Amino acid sequence: MAVCARLCGVGPSRGCRRRQQRRGPAETAAADSEADTDPEEERIEAGAAALAGAGGGRGAGPSPPPRCSLLELPPELLVEIFASLPGTDLPSLAQVCTKFRRILHTDTIWRRRCREVLHRYRHILGLWQPDIGPYGGLLNVVVDGLFIIGWMYLPPHDPHVDDPMRFKPLFRVHLMERKSATVECMYGHRGPHNGHIQIVKKDEFSTKCNQTDHHRMSGGRQEEFRTWLREEWGRTLEDIFHEHMQELILMKFIYTSQYDNCLTYRRIYLPPSHPDDLIRPGLFKGTYGSHGLEIVMLSFHGKRARGTKITGDPNIPAGQQTVEIDLMHRIQLPDVESLRSFNELSRIVLEVREQVRQEQQQREEDGAEDGEGRAPQSPREPQRGPAQPSVELPAEKGGGPADGEAAAAAAPAPEQPAQSGQGQPFVLPVGVSSRNEDYPRTCRMCFYGTGLIAGHGFTSPERTPGVFILFDEDRFGFIWLELKSFSLYSRVRATFRNAEAPSPQAFEEMLKNIQSLTS
């Protein structure tokens, strides 16, 4: 109302009934869809006129000033005027009358507003890893309606690797504001509250909560821990019989809750993809024994594939390379009966390890560099044989085209039909422990690889031999020979926007950076 009056300025009369004769072509078209005698409009006009009346001379002179109201202005002009108002005024302005509402719905205003705020915050869109000691994490900052929202992605509950990722908002920025955009912290269970974002440099920013009392629960630390446990693990501490696991969980709670008032994020990119890659690179959820599920990024580097931890644990922190796959050394698994013998598998793997060691020695003697530029002899080649009856893969749990992940998730990437054939029976050797008995019973091919193990606090890290098992386009496994354990990995199907690396070099650089931070 106040806005209306201020803008009207001169119109002393009760509305301008003559606007039909004076309106421009744009308004003619717009007005066609609306009755001219909108009672709401008349009421507003009357109000506006009354407010504006103070300045105008009510029929004072013989030639009154031309009668005019805000409603007479062509919509293009109103768009200009409205766009210059503080964004917070726009919702109430839209309630003034149907015409205003219509004009405000013309998107242009919002888009312009968004552009302004977006411009300031454009550097925070994309994928980020929070600096939470060894634990890491995955944050996707996206434009969502009239907000920029920072979504923290969490793995599903252990050990259900095929379940969709979970996500919760950590902060949001209103795009409607004009001067200083409002930043709200979304942490805790008591709704949005005052927060702050500091863009440190292009690939780093920090969030700060100004009202951490909003994170506290009435039941104190105990209630906070129980709630966290339920969300993070989907269980109660009593359900978790394993004593070491209880300790790890408690430690994670104590450690991560220190970071509830301030977090620093560093940019990460999704791995670039190449048609020759064994499977599409990307993010996977993997089982890590007592540590629960962790997020791992699979990327291809010529003769090698790497699994880099995006989330980590006190043994192997986020940023480290958990598995490395030697694409030049395939492992032929024996038939299922022999595969049940751990010793048989161990013998095969150690043989390959010896071969790798000798080849490396030979290269060193030849003075050749163990470069990574050359692509392996297309690991996909063996798949291109004669058509075989395709192996029916179990349907994804919690299916649906977007797998129930982020609302804006795109349709799943098309499967490559040639890849679904030629399954080979697979079973875990007796004695190899797995969090998930529900692992695939056929595989496409296996490779020699190494897995990183270390003591608590990342002490004495060591790459140990193992077997990489490719199950299908979306799942792989790794047998840790020394640990006698098996990790199952399943593709994260959520779609992340603004997450492509500007160049392959930028991606390599990013991997190196996140690794050095926790080394």
CB closer to Zn ion out of 173 and 268: 173
Please name every residue paired with 207 in a beta bridge, in sequence order, or none if there are none: 197, 263
* Of the candidates 294, 210, 325, 278, the residue with the CA atom closest to the CA atom of residue 489: 294
Q: Residue 497 CB, nearest distance to Zn ion (Å)?
A: 25
CB closer to Zn ion out of 150 and 312: 150
> What residue ranges bind Zn ion (CB under 5 A)?
185, 187, 209
Ramachandran angles phi, psi of 461, nearest 5°: -65, 145
CB closer to Zn ion out of 171 and 269: 171
CB closer to Zn ion out of 186 and 249: 186
Q: Residue 188 CB, nearest distance to Zn ion (Å)?
A: 6
* Of the candidates 415, 421, 334, the residue with the CA atom closest to the CA atom of residue 383: 421
CB closer to Zn ion out of 207 and 320: 207
* Of the candidates 50, 42, 74, 472, the residue with the CA atom closest to the CA atom of residue 278: 472
Q: Residue 176 CB, nearest distance to Zn ion (Å)?
A: 21
Q: Residue 426 CB, nearest distance to Zn ion (Å)?
A: 47
Q: Residue 372 CB, nearest distance to Zn ion (Å)?
A: 44
Q: Residue 4 CB, nearest distance to Zn ion (Å)?
A: 37
Please name every residue paired with 128 in a beta bridge, in sequence order, or none if there are none: 139, 267
* Of the candidates 307, 418, 330, the residue with the CA atom closest to the CA atom of residue 377: 330
State which amino acid sits at residue 459: T
* Of the candidates 235, 262, 162, the residue with the CA atom closest to the CA atom of residue 475: 162
Rounded Cα–Cα distance for residues 3 and 355 (Å): 80
Through-space distance between the first and last CA atoms of the chain, rounded to whole angstroms = 61
CB closer to Zn ion out of 80 and 260: 260
Q: Residue 183 class from Cβ within 10 Å (0-12 exposed, 13-18 middle, 19+ buried)?
A: buried
CB closer to Zn ion out of 206 and 424: 206
CB closer to Zn ion out of 192 and 376: 192
Collapsing DSSP to helix, strand or coil, 49 comes out as helix
Q: Residue 213 CB, nearest distance to Zn ion (Å)?
A: 9
Count other C-beta atoms under 10 Å from residue 120's C-beta.
14
CB closer to Zn ion out of 195 and 440: 195
- Crossing angle of helices 243-257 and 220-233, rounded to 10°: 110
Q: Residue 134 CB, nearest distance to Zn ion (Å)?
A: 23
Q: Residue 87 CB, nearest distance to Zn ion (Å)?
A: 23
Q: Residue 194 CB, nearest distance to Zn ion (Å)?
A: 8
Collapsing DSSP to helix, strand or coil, 414 comes out as coil
CB closer to Zn ion out of 185 and 339: 185
Residues 122-150 as b/e (b if ≥16 CB within 10 A, e otherwise) read ebbbbbbbbbbbbbbbbbbbbbeebbbbb
Report how far apart, in Å, the C-alpha atoms of 148 and of each of 141, 176, 182, 184, 509 are.
7, 11, 11, 10, 27
Residues 6+ apart with CB under 8 A from 45: 14, 15, 16, 69, 71
